[in-house]
Structure 1
């Protein structure tokens, strides 16, 4: 067996629980269990870093059990440990009550991951409001806006934001007990997460803004954005002012990138 084959077999034994009997014997074989446990503990720690609020909501023991179950189902395959856990929310949605005692915890995972993704996303030159002010009346109809790469829209099934905020502000390392949490009520809506400067931001979207941002992400020109707003509002006269109002907020929030010339 070549050295490379030996390395691969040992890595598989540590990562996937493969057999390394031909490589190790005696005390070395016993030590393999230590490496296996350390490897999984490191991955659970990476999950806790990516899912800080979810980990606080579950507590150390329950999060460790969830993490190890996820590792068994979805072994790490990405070269960077930063991206380990990208399927955790989907895994939780299919897991039983023993791992996910409340369905809203899936939304906690989705929100945590979206904010981490927003922080690490690329940055494009922002759209200058002056460029829009310079447009002529005939230019607006075909105008196609573009979102910043960090802008992410996350569908949620529960109103988790109040509890998420409380947990995010809690500092368990200071020894304080977990704060009382408002129980998330069922509420289907969309969360917007993005990065402005060096800060990640988020807010819940009303149905009209969520629909408009979906249309912007799909490359819908401005005239059709107004038509979409008219359909949502049931009032054609209110459509254009509503779209302009949202556009002004998107510019202030740094959500839009410079349109290609």
Structure 2
């Protein structure tokens, strides 16, 4: 079945029919020798939906592992019907999935699931983010003295969660062995890609507040960090620099 070049209204009808089995086959679809198009279009539709489910599962493997294959695929079908792709770049598909899960009644018993999805989305976003040289260990003395200006790395992203989502993500993506979660405290996580590989690390107290406020200025960032109980500014700067949260200075100190 050839894919026709369609005007905008017909194109929208074709896309809707591809994603919704309740939609009729568009009237402009034709098969050779007068054959009815319903069966062939049904196969085409199933392939489209299956490929989108696969793309969603590749983006959210920990969510899929937590809920199981059957639950994930059923959820993905509903999500695809409500949030079809808006462009040809599959890396951008599935952005609203975390918010969808937050309002999805069958997932209400897993309140941490949306934040696991948010972490997985940030991992992919960091992977595709712009390149920049990270702050090197040689810069740390100048950093501590305030001799260089701090700039957030374009591939550095924060996630604050009331759940241990980094622990759950690591367990369900094979980074660590699957086990019972002993500590259900919230976690503040930095996702970064200072080089070629994406990493997700647990931040010390005050580090997330520091990075969030950095655009206002270093003094404001330090004040915001030190408002957090247990914050140690030296530990914060070292942890963020080691994780790749900062860019190298434009002018070497």
Query: TM-score with structure 1 length normalisation?
Result: 0.78
| Structure 1 match to 2:204 | 206
| Structure 2 match to 1:215 | 213
Higher mean C-alpha deviation, range 47-56 or range 155-164: 155-164
- Is the counterpart of residue 41 in structure 1 residue 45 in structure 2? no
Alignment of 1:1-261 (within 5 A): 3-5=5-7, 8=11, 9-15=13-19, 18-24=23-29, 26-97=35-106, 99=107, 101-128=109-136, 130=138, 133=141, 140=146, 144-169=149-174, 181-183=179-181, 186-216=184-214, 219-233=215-229, 242-261=232-251
SS of the equivalent of 2:158 reads strand
Cα gap change, 1:252 to 1:181, in 2 (>3 Å): closer
**What CA distance in whole angstroms lies between the structure 2 residues aligned with 1:81 and 1:70?**
15
Cα gap change, 1:58 to 1:181, in 2 (>3 Å): farther
Cα gap change, 1:48 to 1:34, in 2 (>3 Å): same
SS of the equivalent of 2:216 reads coil
Write the deviation string for residues 62-120 of structure 1: whole angstroms up to 9, x where unpaired.
110110011011111122112111110011001102x4541122222112111122122
Q: When the two structures are aligned, how many residues end up with a matched partner? A: 241
Structure that is richer in strand per residue: 1
**What CA distance in whole angstroms lies between the structure 2 residues aligned with 1:109 and 1:166?**
14
Shift of 1:222: 2.4
Can you give the 5+ residue segments of structure 1 that lack an aligned partner in the other structure? 172-178
Q: CA RMSD in A?
A: 3.1
SS of the equivalent of 1:4 reads coil
| Structure 2 match to 1:176 | none
- C-alpha contact (below 8 Å) 2:204/2:236 kept by paired residues: no
Can you give the 5+ residue segments of structure 2 that lack an aligned partner in the other structure? none
Higher mean C-alpha deviation, range 104-113 or range 185-194: 185-194
Cα gap change, 1:181 to 1:68, in 2 (>3 Å): farther
Shift of 1:230: 3.9
Cα gap change, 1:185 to 1:103, in 2 (>3 Å): farther
**What CA distance in whole angstroms lies between the structure 2 residues aligned with 1:69 and 1:215?**
38
Query: TM-score with structure 2 length normalisation?
Result: 0.80
- C-alpha contact (below 8 Å) 1:147/1:257 kept by paired residues: yes
